[in-house]
Amino acid sequence: MTFDINKIRSDFPILQRKIYDKPLIYLDNAATTQKPQIVIDRITDYYTYENANIHRGVHYLSQIDTTAFENAREYIARFINAPKKEEVIFTKGTTESINLVAASFGRKILNKDDEVLVTAMEHHSNLVPWQMLCYEKEARLKVIPYSDKGEINLSTYQMMLGDKTKIVALPHISNTLGSINPVKEMIRMAHEKNIPVLIDGAQALSHLKVDIADLDCDFYCCSGHKAYGPMGVGILYGKTEHLNFMDPYQTGGEMVEHVTLYETSFNEIPFKFEAGTPNVEAVLGMEAALHYVEETGLDEITAHEKNLLVYGTKKLQQIKGVQIYGKAAEKAGILSFLIDDIHSFDAGTIIDKFGIAIRTGHHCAQPVMNKFGIPGTVRASFAMYNTREEIDKLVEAILQVKKMFG
Amino acid sequence: MTFDINKIRSDFPILQRKIYDKPLIYLDNAATTQKPQIVIDRITDYYTYENANIHRGVHYLSQIDTTAFENAREYIARFINAPKKEEVIFTKGTTESINLVAASFGRKILNKDDEVLVTAMEHHSNLVPWQMLCYEKEARLKVIPYSDKGEINLSTYQMMLGDKTKIVALPHISNTLGSINPVKEMIRMAHEKNIPVLIDGAQALSHLKVDIADLDCDFYCCSGHKAYGPMGVGILYGKTEHLNFMDPYQTGGEMVEHVTLYETSFNEIPFKFEAGTPNVEAVLGMEAALHYVEETGLDEITAHEKNLLVYGTKKLQQIKGVQIYGKAAEKAGILSFLIDDIHSFDAGTIIDKFGIAIRTGHHCAQPVMNKFGIPGTVRASFAMYNTREEIDKLVEAILQVKKMFG
Amino acid sequence: MSMEEIQEQIITEFSYFDDWLDRYNHLIEMGKSVPLINEKYKTKNYLIGGCQSRVWLHAAMKDGVIIFSADSDAVITKGIVNLLIRVFSGQTPDTIIDADISFIDEIGLKEHLSPTRSNGLMSMIKQMKLYALAFKTKSANQ
Amino acid sequence: MSMEEIQEQIITEFSYFDDWLDRYNHLIEMGKSVPLINEKYKTKNYLIGGCQSRVWLHAAMKDGVIIFSADSDAVITKGIVNLLIRVFSGQTPDTIIDADISFIDEIGLKEHLSPTRSNGLMSMIKQMKLYALAFKTKSANQ
Ligand SMILES: Cc1ncc(COP(=O)(O)O)c(C=O)c1O
Ligand SMILES: Cc1ncc(COP(=O)(O)O)c(C=O)c1O
């Protein structure tokens, strides 16, 4: 497999457009990725030829859609190497997946004075649900610290795993610092004490190989839209034993088996957790996206993004006054920085004028900002279609920022 | 405005396709509607030229998307005549909207021995969440009966509204019987006793005028995909006072205002209830769909569907052995029936062979089936693009069914 | 007859029908001759989940082969059940466990093979194979 | 000067700049001359929500007109605040309440007008109008 960046770029129609008469340079991939033509086509085809509500329909369209939907589940399960396809539940995104686990699993196992462990580098979506749960249960949220480089200290972590720890929730990759956390090792350590672990993989899917069976995590959460797929779909992977133990989260529609006015029995997994009409469009779109990633070559994508990170880091470090946040040895293509003491909003406003899409602010990870005592950062995050030339343009923009606010 | 059925039909590309070499006759609209080309185009355009994550982004794409998203909220709020646009919350569908209210409102106001009122004609999505809530709170679910015709008796209902009643949940239109319930009057009666009312409007949006201000309901729930819009988006309308009183449902992402590791304050409505990356694509698609409905003329659509209902009812009644379920005086374009004592699955399997998409089974309303002592019905449900000729074809198919199983 | 032979027979039988109408009429005919389950087995325990119509399936081991009987409240479903019983009933557990069911595709009933919950064919086959597995395990343990 | 005149003045001022770079440089210049808020008002109470940068806004009534002072931790935001203060400060509550703010569009800063939570321009204008309304109500009640 050869990684042909020109072909890849031509597969993403939005990269042909101009912003303020300049070619779009899209470096906001940690927020959401762009979509290749085949994903757009899949959606168009779906609504043009196939659209129907699935499950239980006897008519032709409903049948082919149901087949397509369940085949997509099977493909996606294989893509993340989930042991069983029924362990893959479709949600609307990472945030919902985590909330589902907090509500249906956390609420059932957590008691007063129990502990939930998270890191200090969480996205709010993997922090606030656990805060709320602990508040409700009078349990304690304990926070695993990390170094200024953005690395979790494994021995501190191991010490924190105690008799009261009922669940550990970790980000596979930090959306702010870019750290690729040693989750496999951390899962192993937790399992030694029989503690289940949830991984927030929002930043990992389609950027590095997600191998559920190898990780042996209890739950894995991710979003389609951050992995070249459509908005409105996410995955919750859960081990069968947990999913069977858990109560349903939302109820109604196809997730029930038998209903009388006063009693209801629930369907088996995964349907038990998929209340309401599923987002068939988005599931099929996500399947197409992961297909595209597989064909392009996930290892090659990972290597390409790592290259960009190394190149970008070097280039930014050459600019006087640029401070990079997040210097873990194992790091994904996410580059947070500040220029002198220029506010990220000021920097971002000017960088935007170059047609460059970067994100500024706290990136929904305010505790990370608090740690470093800053209100926000500028963040460039890479995807398979980014190039060194784009990073050079970013550098130009940064130099302009320095000139204007210097 | 003239209602040009040929133009309308040509706007829905799927209607050009064939099933088993016969033109598709799509009569499963209560399950999900088909999409006009402009909805498909809106989605394609979005991913081809505009896609970005919204809110807080300073870059161009994020800004125009945020504007488009919030404009869509404003347009949709106006479409349903909601008093304020912040009262319109985007969810993934009716089922989620109802679950949200049950969890964030119901759970907060309901105590032991309190009562929740629903009808005996609910879709499971407006039944099971209340069952579960009552179970959790040791409260009582009371069921408003209806006549064999499918009409709620208002004086019985009024008598059931008691001191212990804390919430009433009603379907605007029954998805099985087609009854258009007198919800305005029922809301008024409940309000006389200060009881809030939730309306399940899944079958109403885009079929008849939904006028929130006029209804004065406390909550209104509906889905985009049943109103010519994309899958994966729904609406929860809620009165400001309730929404402010309610706790968030899901947490994480943009719905927070300020987060430290141990404390979080929440954003204002509607954002407080929109955790995670919103489904921008689907919201814009839904806006396009409602636009299309407005341009076509909602009153004309309602009249057209009523015409089809009257015609279809007459035609079906002319077939010996056809029994129609649901004969309310006020009825939407939903026609449930059985042929002799032929199982709905048998009938549906044969009708499908004519290229006709109808639904069979319990339609996620098992209590309705129990009332009539049947395992399921065959259901034809109409949308703006259906025609009398299509109903004639359905009649042909039914005659064939009679011949085969007679 | 071996299972393959029965499948061939069924394929030949169906090959006489050119269109869906005749195929389904044949299926409906077959629905009438399904080996009826003893009424006492028409209970929840013998019900197969995941079908839109109700299907009861019973299995018994006799002289090393499994004998199936079944019923359904829908006629087409009965016809399908009958097909399956013709193929599987009277076979050994091992034959059933390893059975290839592609003949269903060849007789033009593929639509019933979709992995949905709307029709029960897949559930029926799964249940029959589960019975076979159970009997096999049981006899291995004896 | 009337509010319209000030707006005209600002539009003329910006019309000298052809490109975004000069316009933003001008805005940054203006950011330096914002009427600084008294440090004691730089508290949570005077913070405007919904801005990515922090904006503190204070208002006082003097001789029938409202005097605004403000600050922000971002320079561009300060520039925008300054623009708004030039237009609104020293005007009567009624003028402020009814003010048309389309001049922002004309000077090429429309991008800051989007109804988002990512920038605070809309929030600032809303807050200024709220102050005006509050002062108006107060003096009506006296
Ligand atoms: C009356 C009614 N309520 C609720 C629903 C659930 O809607 P959704 O599946 O879009 O959440 C439906 C759709 O099947 C319905 O007809
Ligand atoms: C690490 C991490 N977790 C969770 C999320 C939330 O994902 P979503 O908004 O798709 O639910 C994000 C995305 O912003 C993220 O980066």
Q: Are residues A262 and A320 in the same domain?
A: no
Q: For residue B13, what are the CA distances in angstroms to B39, B286, D11, D41?
A: 11, 17, 49, 61
Shared domain for B387 and B245, answered yes or no, is no
pLDDT of residue C37: 85
pLDDT of residue C119 exceeding 60, the answer is no
- Among B100, B225, B226, B286, residue to substitute to test ligand 1 (most atoms within 8 Å of Cβ): B226
Mean pLDDT of the B80-107 span: 98
Cα separations in angstroms, B70 against A363, B270, B273: 21, 11, 15
The whole-angstrom separation of Cα C14 and Cα A147 is 72
For ligand 1, say whether the CB of B94 is within 6 Å of any of its atoms: yes
Which of B15, B42, B44, B58 best tests the A interface by mutation, with the highest count of A CBs <10 A?
A: B58
> B222 CA distance to ligand 1 centroid (A)?
8
On whether both B272 and B357 belong to a single domain, the answer is: no
Contact C116 A271 (CB under 8 A): no
Instruction: Find the D87 Cα to ligand 2 centroid distance in Å.
Output: 41
Strongest mean pLDDT among A49-63, A76-90, A241-255: A76-90
Q: What mean pLDDT do residues C42-64 have?
A: 86
The domain boundary residue, chosen from B267, B294, B321? B294
Cis peptide, bond prior to residue A278, ω within 30 of zero: no
Percent of chain C's residues with pLDDT above 90: 42
The pLDDT of residue C6: 93
**Cα gap A374→A163, rounded to integer Å:** 36
- Among the atoms of ligand 2, which is closest to the Cα of residue A226? 10
Question: Could you list the residue range(s) of the whole structural domain that residue B397 is in?
Answer: 5-31+297-404
Greater confidence (C20 vs A232) lies with A232
pLDDT digits 0-9 by tens, C69-90? 999 999 998 998 899 999 999 9
Asked if A256 and A301 sit in the same domain, the reply is no
Q: What is the mean pLDDT of residues B293-308?
A: 98
Does ligand 1 have an atom closer than 6 angstroms to the CB of B207?
no
| pLDDT over 70 percentage in chain A | 100
- Which of D28, D74, D118 is nearest residue A404 as measured by Cβ atoms? D28
- Our CA-based measurement puts residue A90 at a distance from the nearest CA of chain D, in whole angstroms, of 29
Instruction: Mark B123-132 as b/e (b = at least 16 C-beta within 10 Å).
Output: bbbbbbbbbb
**Is the CB of A57 within 6 Å of ligand 1?**
no
**Residue ranges lining ligand 2, Cβ < 6 Å:** A 30, 93-95, 123, 125-126, 171, 175, 200, 202-203, 223, 364; B 253, 276-277
Which CATH number goes with the domain that contains A20?
3.90.1150.10
Same domain, A206 and A351: no
At B172 the pLDDT is 98
DSSP assignment of chain C: --HHHHHHHHHHHHHT--SHHHHHHHHHHHHHT--BPPGGG-SGGGBPTT-SS-EEEEEEEETTEEEEEEEESSHHHHHHHHHHHHHHTTB-HHHHHH---THHHHTT-GGGGSS-SSS-HHHHHHHHHHHHHHHHHHHHH-
Q: Residue A36: inside a domain, yes or no?
A: no
Query: Residue A122 sits in a domain of what CATH number?
Result: 3.40.640.10
Report chain A residues whose CB lies below 8 A from the CB of D47.
none
B235 and B322: one domain? no
Catalytic residues of B: 364
Instruction: State the closest ligand 2 atom to the C-alpha of A125, by its place in the atom list counted from 1.
Output: 4
Q: What is the C-alpha to C-alpha distance for residues B274 and A92, in angstroms, rounded to an integer?
A: 12
Whether residue B26 is contained in a domain is answered as yes
Identify the CATH assignment for D3-136 out of 3.90.1010.10, 3.30.565.10, 3.40.50.2300, 3.40.640.10.
Answer: 3.90.1010.10
Select from C21, C52, C73 the Cβ nearest to the Cβ of B360: C52
The residue-averaged pLDDT of D92-117 equals: 80
Select the residue from B50, B53, B55, B56 to test the D interface by mutation, using most D Cβ atoms within 10 A: B56
Please name which ligand lies nearest the alpha carbon of B57. 2
Number of the ligand 2 atom closest to the C-alpha atom of A97: 11
A329-379: pLDDT as tens digits:
999 999 999 999 999 999 999 999 999 999 999 999 999 999 999 999 999
Mean pLDDT along residues B279-296:
98
State whether the beta carbon of B203 lies less than 6 angstroms from ligand 1: yes
Which mutation among B125, B176, B220 tests ligand 1's pocket best, with the greatest number of atoms within 8 A of CB? B125
Look at residue B349 and tell me if it is in a domain: yes
Mean pLDDT check: name the lowest of B245-249, B389-393, C119-123.
C119-123
Closest residue to D118, CB basis, from B56, B71, B268: B56
| CB nearest to C118's CB, from A63, A257, A271 | A63
Query: Which chain A residues in 231-260 lie under 8 Å from chain C, judged by CB atoms?
Result: 254, 257
Classify strands B140-144 and B115-119 as parallel, antiparallel or unpaired.
parallel
Q: Write out pLDDT tens, residues B389-406.
A: 999 999 999 999 999 998
Rounded average pLDDT over C41-62: 86
The Å distance, Cα B278 to ligand 2 centre, comes to 11
B223 lines ligand 1 (CB under 6 A): yes
- Please tell me whether residues B126 and B256 are part of one structural domain: yes
Residues B188-237 have pLDDT tens digits of: 999 999 999 999 999 999 999 999 999 999 999 999 999 999 999 999 99
| Average pLDDT taken over every residue of chain B | 96
Tell me, yes or no, whether B336 and B288 share the same domain.
Answer: no
Domain end call among A247, A274, A294: A294
Tell me which residues of D are annotated as active site.
51
Flag whether A333 is in a domain: yes
Please check the confidence at residue B72 and state whether its pLDDT lies above 60: yes
Ligand 2 midpoint to CA A32 (Å): 9
For residues A210-220, average pLDDT? 98
- What is the count of residue pairs from A and B with beta carbons less than 8 Å apart? 301
Nearest CA in chain C to A271: C117
Residues A128-170 have pLDDT tens digits of: 999 999 999 999 999 999 999 999 999 999 999 999 999 999 9
CA B258/CA D73 separation, integer angstroms: 18
Q: What is the pLDDT of residue D38?
A: 87
Ligand 2: which residue has its CA nearest to atom 15? A202
Q: Which residues, including other chains, have CB under 8 Å from residue B329's CB and lie 6 or more apart?
A: B149, B151
Residues of chain B contacting residue A257, judged by C-beta atoms under 8 Å apart: none
Predicted pLDDT at C113: 63
- Exposed/middle/buried for B63, CB within 10 Å: 0-12, 13-18, 19+? buried
Task: Confirm if B207 and B235 have CB atoms less than 8 A apart.
Answer: no
Give catalytic residue positions of A.
364
Q: Residues of D at the B interface (Cβ-Cβ below 8 Å)?
A: 49, 52, 111, 114-119
Specify the pLDDT at position B305.
98
Task: Answer yes or no: are the C-beta atoms of B252 and B277 closer than 8 Å.
Answer: no
C-alpha span between C119 and C52 (Å, rounded): 6
Nearest Cα neighbor of A232 from B289, B47, C138, D111 is B47
Instruction: For A285-331, write each residue's pLDDT tens digit.
Output: 999 999 999 999 999 999 999 999 999 999 999 999 999 999 999 99
Which residues in chain C have their CB less than 8 angstroms from residue A66's CB?
114-118
Residues B58 and B173 in one domain: yes
> What is the per-residue pLDDT across D10-37, written as a single tens digit (0 to 9) for each?
999 998 998 889 999 999 998 887 777 8
Q: Report yes or no on B36 lying in a domain.
A: no
For the segment B159-187, the average pLDDT, to the nearest whole number, is 98
Query: Which of B60, B66, B257 comes nearest D116 by C-beta?
Result: B66
- Looking at residue C100, what is its pLDDT? 87
Residue A75 lies in a domain: yes
> Distance (Å) from the C-alpha of residue C25 to the closest C-alpha of chain B?
7
Facing residue for B56 by CB, picked from D49, D115, D117: D117
Q: Nearest C-alpha of chain A: how many angstroms from C112?
A: 9
Say how many C-beta atoms besides its own lie within 10 A of residue D21's C-beta.
14
Question: Is residue B319 within 8 Å of B399, Cβ to Cβ?
Answer: yes
- Asked if B317 and B290 sit in the same domain, the reply is no
Q: Whose CA is nearest to atom 12 of ligand 2?
A: A202
- Same domain for B271 and B222, yes or no, is yes
What is the dihedral sign for C-alpha D125, D127, D128, D133? Answer: positive
User: For residue A400, what are the contacts with CB-CB under 8 A and spacing of at least 6?
Assistant: A350, A354, D21
The count of domains in chain B is 2
Cβ <8 Å between B375 and C54: yes
Tell me how far apart the alpha carbons of residues B366 and B362 are, in angstroms, rounded to a whole number: 5
Mean of all residue pLDDT scores within chain A: 96
* Total Cβ atoms within 10 A of residue D85: 20
Ligand 1 atom, smallest distance to B171 CA: 1
Among A171-185, A331-345, D65-79, the minimum mean pLDDT is found in D65-79
Domain ranges of chain C: 3-136
Q: Are residues B301 and B289 in the same domain?
A: no
Residue C51 has pLDDT above 90, yes or no: no
> Ligand 1, atom 14: nearest CA belongs to which residue?
B31
- The answer to whether chain A touches chain B by having 3 or more C-beta pairs less than 8 angstroms apart is yes
Strand partners, A339: A322
- Domain boundary, last residue among A275, A294, A313: A294
B404 to chain C: which residues are within 8 Å by CB?
24-25, 28
Chain A segment 18-57 residues within 8 A of D by beta carbon are: 20
